[in-house]
Chain A
Amino acid sequence: MTQNKQGALKKPDIDWILLAMTLFEATAFILLALYDGFDPVSLILAVSVPLILVAQVLLLGRAFPHMDKYILIVANFLCGVGLIMLYRLAPDKALKQLLFYGVGVMAMVCMTFLVARFRHWRVLRLPVMGVSVLLLALTLVIGKETYGAKNWIDLKFFSLQPSEFVKVALILCLAMDLSEKRTIGQLLPVGLFAVACVGLIVLQKDLGAVLICFIVCIVVYFTATSNWLLCLSGLLAAAGGSVVMYKLFPHVQTRVAIWQDPWATPQDGGYQIVQSLIAIASGGMSGLGLGLGSASKSVPVVESDFIFSAVCEEFGIIVGLTVIALYVLLFIRGMLLAMRARSSFHALLAVGTVTSLALQTFMILGGVIKMVPLTGVTLPFISYGGSSMLSCMLMLGMLQGVSIVVGEQDESQWRMARRREAWQP
């Protein structure tokens, strides 16, 4: 479907978008270089971050012409915005994040290759399941507790959050098994795996991850089987479970109370959300200007969970809404891939990935603007965090793999169609 002498199909070019993104990232880092004296590191970032973006489009675009460029550049731009914000909030973390970003891009390429070219998925099934459950169990034993959830494994130089990777594994296994097997008996292994994952994450008290895994399972299962009854009863069971949790655990009750009225406890329980709302309101429509906000001082965990508040304060609500719109574009493209796919494995892979990313984005954005109760999940691509960045990049790789498979099938069939037309005038 590249330009073809027989056809008039010309793909829209993205040069202008790339240019604008490059300018955005470069000027932002140059501006930050002038903040408080002169900072050469920022200038290095001003070159390297756009370079990673452009290099990916050029190199990967050549290697895989059917890669979805829109998904690629949107995700990379979001990473860029995250890096800008992080460099402004905590420069040392931004440099670490740059490393994660680089590793993430490589992971994405591997995943893309795997999904597009690897055919023996069944071999991977058991090892992936085993490692995932093992990691989660290990976290329970040697995990580190932060903000009430025990979901980190400390590896000295790098903290691992297994639940992030388990999401990827879960989507892969679900897509693999549901694409071939339809009866309850055949689905028992993957069902047990899902239950084990969700159960172990519940034990870690990582509410956000539980919700994401659970809903991803239900959505993928529903997409594969159209089994309304089971999915609805699953959701009802989940609702019942949350009510029981609400009644049993006082910390869940506090969360809900804080969500309903954070202003009642502005100094303790509601502090995060109150400060987040104040930060957003301080920015107004056009923002205070990069480097002029004070979210870094007032909002706790601003570099991961609450990074969107900082973006809104310094870049303004218009840019904040643009970021939301870019996420939506990414999800639309991803879901359209699922609708074009010719095999259910690829379709389910795309559906699972998009559901997971969309849900995560919704939960944290809704949380920081007090639309839904806050669950401590990261904002995909933007938030600081190695595990989060890697898992998002792996998911991006899965989408790209699907895009390549679908694109190649489309192209060969389209060429044939054109040839037939030429033969039979």
Chain B
Amino acid sequence: MSRGNHLLFWTMMSVIGAVIAIYVLFPIFWLMLAGFKSADELARLPVSFWPSEPTLQAYTDLFAPGTQSAQLLDWPRLISNSFIVAVSSTVIVVFFGAIAGYAFSRLSFPGRDLILGGLLVSRMFQGAALLLPTFRLMNALGLEDSLLGLIILYSAFGLPFATWIIASGLREIPVELEEAAMIDGASRLQSMVIVVLPLATPALITAAMWHFVGAWSEFAFASILIESSRNTTVTIGLASFVDYFTLEFNRVGAAATIIALPVLVVFFFGQRYFTRGLLQGAVKG
């Protein structure tokens, strides 16, 4: 490619990328702005883009005791429920994913590559197909309507792909490093913990981020398994909020913004690992 063509190519790619970004981000931005408007302003015509009198009323309504929204849903509780579920299942998934990923990348056993490929295939099934069987299974196990049930379920769903990400990350780490460690006096476990896993940080963080975001924002399974308000998570709360406050959409905007915050924070701090972790397996064949 000549220099001029090169420039043209990247200009076009940038324009296309910008259009896609605006298309995806605009509704989210619109919703966030709604959270800073008053209910009156939202109902007013013509529709204004920027809040004419920015207010935090919707946010205080969410948490202030005695307000209508706070009576309907205990937001601090929803948030802590979601945190418990997302963080616990992330810890479980990364822990077991690291052990399994290590085995897939370092030990040779019959059918290894087939099983590793199979882990990816499991990603291709639509979760919806599993809703009913999962519901019956969790009922049979007595894990319906419990946070523990969600933690186990999310961990089970997340583990295959996390294992795959971590295994591809570990494959990039030269075996000689471990051999050197073992000659230097390390056991296999020591060489894994002291040498291999610190170097696999990008892959571990990628798996953790991917799983945390998925678990935090999961809706379908939570909505069929969770019944009591005690165990409700943020996504279910938001959905019911949409039903309650169709006319006071500023509260929905505020709630959605708060729910999106952890995801934004996770990506803000982890994105450099995230791209590296996903690329790790891809660059070398």
Q: Are A and B interaction partners?
A: no
Interface residues of A (CB under 8 A from B): none
